[in-house]
Structure formats: structure tokens, C-alpha cells
Structure 1
Amino acid sequence: MPSPQTTSDEAVTRLRRLDCCAVSDALDQLGLKGQVTGVPKRSGSNGRIAGRVVTLKLHDGPRPDGPVRHLGTTAVELAGPEDVIVVEQRTGLDAGCWGGLLTLGAKLRGVAGVVADGPVRDIDEAREYDFPIFSTALTALTARSRVVEAETNGAIEPWGVPVCAGDYVIADSSAIIFISAEQAPHVLDAAEAIALKEAAMAKALLSGKPISAVMSGDYEHMLEAERVSA
């Protein structure tokens, strides 16, 4: 059985200290894309998930050659505590791209969560397991005879965003954001600087400084100014 990556990833640690708004601002500052909004969190009490991406692509075509495996099982066996499984099921069919047994398997391996561009089923089980799932839709319809696994850890385009295995994702109630592995150091540096500045502004408000002074013209042009200086 494949084992999850056990070495600690500093980028995951840093990403988990941030939120999607700070990361989104960092992408804006750097002229990058990757934000997806309007996708609800369906389960899990943790407010935010973040980690390396393990990809899972489904389609309504023939099964790949080789031994028959149920969709998603390879992704679960490849993933670990610093990973988020990202599923693309963009066939247009009402068919589950993730379900209860996969959720339990991922929970037992400590996987950080699942982000699915497609319908997820057995969501009540995911809630009982307190396992974080973000998805476009819910369904009771099985994948069997409808969709199959096309590839694990290949390139996917959830919500039209190019994503590769080993990229990074963060998701909370504001958004889902994908960050390429190549751009991650720059995005993290920018997001941490933005978060630090906003923390200082919050401290100023708590000390009694007027909000109009705290959120002045400097704040309005903060990302623009940082982009020029970068």
C-alpha cells in the first residue's frame, strides 16, 4: 500500500496560519489567479483546511487499463495529514465523486480534507466523522455505472483552475484558493506580510484609534503599493 509523505512541509505549516482573504490579496498583489468562491463547506467543524494537493479526476468514459479499483482509493492511500484531496468530476452527471467509505478511509489516514468540483454523497457520514469536505453539490446517486476514475495525481482543472499534484490549496468559508508549487514561496511571503499589517491595524483599532485613520488611503492602496515595490 502506498504511504503518505511523512516529511514536514514548511509551506503547509505557513499556509495553515493564514486565511483565504489574506492569500487572495497576495494573489492580487502578485497578479496571479487561483481563487474560487461560492463553494460551501459541507462538513467538518474546523473552520479552515490547507495542504498539498493530491488530485483525483473522474470521467464518464471507459476505465483505465489495469486492475479494477474503486474510484478514489488510490488517492486516499497516497494522502496523509498534510494533504488535501482535490476531486474533479465535471461530467455534468449527477453522480457522487466522493462517498462515506472514502471519507472514513481518509479520516483514518489523517487526511486534512476534500475539495470536490462535483457532487458528494453520504454527507451525513462525513459530518459524523467530523471530516472537512467542500463541494459544489450533494447527491445520493452512486458513481457505479455512471463515472469512473480517469487518473490520480494527474493535472486537473477544478472550477477551471489548472491544478497539479503537489500544488497547494487552502479553503475556508470565504473561498477555495489554489497555489502552484512554483509560486507558493512568493504567495506565502506576500500573504504573511499582508496578515501582519492587518493584525497591526486591528491592534490599533482595539487601542482606540479611529477606524477612518486606521483604514486610510494607505490601506486602500496597500496592494498596489506592494506590487510596485515587489
Structure 2
Amino acid sequence: MAEHVLAGLSTCEISDALIKLGVTHGGYMPGLNRLSPSRDSEDVLSGPALTVQMVPSSDPNAPKLDQHFVDLAQKDTIMVIAAPLHLKNAVWGGLMTAGAQARGVLGVVISGRCRDLTEHRAAGFPVFARGLSTLGQSTFTRPSSVGDGIDIEGPSENTFVRVETGDWIVGDINGVVCVSQDLIEAVGAVARKGKAADERCMKELLEGAGVRATLKKWRQ
């Protein structure tokens, strides 16, 4: 299972592996930082994605859900929400966390904003987001799909990280990455090789070896 293949790997190690495998954005979704349970927590959020697309409430063409999107949550998944970046309202609040926790959701990753931060922290619920807002969701945005592929702004201009339901999400103190299902095994193997090389580099650097020579020896 993916949780075993990628266990113990940091988001940095996973991104390095993805780049070596030809994924130019490294799976990295910039600007998504841990807000709960604390900003400096060293816990790792890891699990399969369940995607949610938000659209402006005024959008007359996007599909409308007949249920609240949290009611469609699945146990042992990470809800990944794509919200319109030009809108500054929250798309996740304390009531959403309560409903998600009751359904066994592992955490939420939001390309957008959340609110009620003290409630998420009190619940110990992992939340990664672009930032905070005092504004609620329904006046400004609404969910248009759950489970369909979404695009998250990537690390360079005009790049996007495609997230499909079932792709593997890892979030830690460095940020959030997405690994597509078809690359999980390869990423695990390449990342572990890179991790071992970096451990050798660290050992030699602490012993006084030159940085350039050490990197050339172990990382090329």
C-alpha cells in the first residue's frame, strides 16, 4: 500500500524523486501551509485524496450538488479542495471539521482559505491552507463537484498540479505534495535512494568534508 511505500519520506524527498522521474513541478502545491493542529507540528499527514471543486456562487453553469460536500466524505481520505484564488472567503470552517472527523477523514488540504482556526486546533484536525479569512463560504463560493480531478496552482507560471481522487497526498512542516497513483511505487524507490545519499552527505559534511566534493560523490 502507498502508506507503506512512502512512509518515513519527507515532502522534500518526495518532490526530489518526482523531479527525477520527469514530473517538473515535483508534485508541490505552493502556498499550502499547515495551520492546524499547529504551524510547527512535525506530524505528517498522509493519505489518498478526495477532491472537491469550489466555484463562485454566482456561476450559473457549474453543476450543483444535492448534498453538502462534507456529507460525501469518505473514511481515511484527505479532502483536497480547489477554490477560486481571486475570492478571499474561507471554504472550510469548524463545523466542516466536526463533520469530517465524524466520518473518519484524515485531514483537509485547501487551495484557498479556512476560518475558525481555534476550533480545528482544539479538535486536533490537520488543516493545510493558503491562509485565513473571517468570511464564510456560502455567500461567495459553492462546491460544484466531489471526486473529479482538480487543478492546483503549481510552483511556476502557468503550471498546475493535477489531483485525482485516489492520488497520494503528503503534508508536513515543509508543505504539501501530490503523487499520482501510477507513480507511487517508483517515487518510493527513488526517494529512498535519495534519502540514503543525503544521509551519507550529512555524515561527511559534519565530519568537515567539502560541500562540493561531497555532493558530487553522493548525489550525482
TM-score using structure 1 length: 0.79
Partner Cα separation in structure 2 for residue 26 and residue 222 of structure 1: 15
The one-letter code sitting in structure 1 at the alignment partner of 2:191 is A
SS in 1 for 2:51: strand
Deviation at 1:209, TM superposition (A): 6.3
Q: In structure 2, what is the equivalent of residue 101 of structure 1? A: 95
Q: d(CA) in 2 for partners of 1:220 and 1:186?
A: 24
Call closer, same or farther: CA 1:38–1:119 in 2, change over 3 Å: closer
1:11 is matched with 2
Query: 2:156 maps to what in 1?
Result: none
CA deviation string 1:23-78 (max 9, x = no partner): 121122222131133432111255221111110111012473563x234331x2x2
Distance change (3 Å), C-alpha of 1:66 and 1:18: closer
% identical equivalent positions: 26
* Equivalent of 1:56 in 49, 52, 57: 52
Q: Partner residue of 1:194?
A: 194
Pick closer, same or farther for the CA change 1:210–1:13 going to 2, 3 Å: same
CA distance in 2, matches of 1:123, 1:110: 20
1:44 and 2:45 correspond:
no
The unaligned stretches of length 5 or more in structure 2 are 154-159
Mark the CA change 1:86 to 1:222 in structure 2 (over 3 Å): closer, same or farther: farther
Look up the match of 1:162.
162
CA distance in 2, matches of 1:70, 1:166: 21
Q: Indicate conservation of the 8 Å contact 1:72/1:149, yes or no.
A: no
Query: Aligned-residue CA RMSD in angstroms?
Result: 2.3
Q: In 2, distance between residues paired with 1:210 and 1:44?
A: 37
Q: What residue identity is the alignment partner of 1:58?
A: M
Identify, as 1 or 2, the structure richer in strand.
2
Structure-to-structure mapping, 1:1-230, within 5 angstroms: 10-32=1-23, 33=25, 34-45=27-38, 46-47=41-42, 48-60=44-56, 61-62=59-60, 64=63, 67=66, 69-74=67-72, 76=73, 78=74, 80-81=75-76, 83-159=77-153, 160-202=160-202, 204=203, 210-212=207-209, 215=211, 217=213, 219-220=215-216, 222-223=218-219, 225=220
Which range is displaced more, 193-202 or 128-137?
193-202
C-alpha displacement of 1:107:
2.1
Q: Residues 65 and 169 (structure 1 numbering): CA distance in 2 closer, same or farther, change over 3 Å?
A: closer
Hey, what's the Cα distance between the residues in 2 that align with 1:221 and 1:109?
Answer: 49
Other structure's SS at 1:194 match: helix
Instruction: Provide Cα deviations, 1:107-160, integer angstroms capped at 9, x if missing partner.
Output: 233322111001111111001101111100211211123211110010101222
SS in 2 for 1:170: strand
Deviation at 1:89, TM superposition (A): 0.4
Task: Name whichever of 10-19 and 149-158 sits farther off.
Answer: 10-19
- Could you list the per-position Cα deviations for residues 71-109 of structure 1 after superposition, in whole angstroms to 9, with x for gaps in the alignment? 4331x2x2x23x211100025222221111111122233
Length-normalised TM-score, structure 2 = 0.83
Structure 2: how far apart are the matches of 1:26 and 1:221?
18
